[in-house]
Amino acid sequence: MMGEVASLRRYPVKSMLGEEVGGSEVTRAGLAGDRRLAVLSRATGKVASAKYPRLWRGLLTLSATAIHGGARITLPGGRTVRSTDEGVDEILSAVLGQPVRLTATPPAGASLDRAVPEAVLRDGLDADVPARVVELAAAAPPGTFVDFAPVHLITTATLARVAELSPHGRSDAERYRPNIVVRTTAAGFTENHWLGRELRIGDDLLLRVIARTPRCAVPTLAHGRLPRDTEALRVLARHNRAVPMGTLAPEPCAGVYAEVLRPGLISAGDPVRLA
């Protein structure tokens, strides 16, 4: 056994804070209820994402929990609204300061703006920095708003290494927005060596790691109770530049993306094995 599932998280609305769950069904589209909704800009038609913090970092002041038929969204100050409530678009537009709509249906060619992370670090959150357009769910079944692949994993080894290298000595899993945190006794950025490998979790679930996760500006942003932390990205830029996949250029990386080869159930404490 290589490790075990330390915790599971899902994010019912893309780029909002999510929730920890004790167990979940995992289909080829990922964890049940994960990133099934998203906020769309009415001005551009693009998916709103904190990857472009100048416009959308306010999404991280909102949290979402999955409920039957949608999500319950907690607004700043504690008021809640359901994704199915009449007027939810106007409420979210007022909070975010942009005209938006909430949807469960990805538009054709769904995409978002990803600010150049180094430019955000250099120029600040309010700067109009360069960004590239990223197509969503390139390695996932249609119908979800995942960034790339259905499942995102990170290990306690990587989180511990970031904390060790950070001036303030801490690292928070929530900043990196994983679905699965794997507890392992391995050292360092151990997921770097999983590319192309299969992971067996519990009795049934089988994943294949298809990419290392390149990090954007999101880990540096305030996440609810967590304050802004530029070291969440700077540490990776200094100590873990890796090729995400194929012939791409090295980028600051932490964690891996995986596709689902065999669906199954997953729970905290399940054993994780490298095939």
pLDDT value of position 252: 98
Category of 85 on φ-ψ map: left (φ > 0), alpha (ψ -120 to 50) or beta: beta
pLDDT value of position 1: 75
How is residue 199 written in tokens? Answer: 């992971």
pTM above 0.95, yes or no: yes
Nearest to 14 by CA among 212, 148, 191, 139: 148
pLDDT value of position 109: 93
Task: Please give the radius of gyration of the chain, using alpha carbons only, rounded to the nearest integer.
Answer: 18
Domains and CATH numbers, the chain: 3-274 (2.40.33.20)
pLDDT tens digits in sequence order for the chain, 275 residues long: 799 999 999 999 999 999 999 999 999 999 999 999 999 999 999 999 999 999 999 999 999 999 999 999 999 999 999 999 999 999 999 999 999 999 999 999 999 999 999 999 999 999 999 999 999 999 999 989 999 999 999 999 999 999 999 999 999 999 999 999 999 999 999 999 999 999 999 999 999 999 999 999 999 999 999 999 999 999 999 999 999 999 889 999 999 999 999 999 999 999 999 98
Side chain identity at residue 128, one-letter code: D
Nearest to 83 by CA among 91, 93, 75, 73: 73
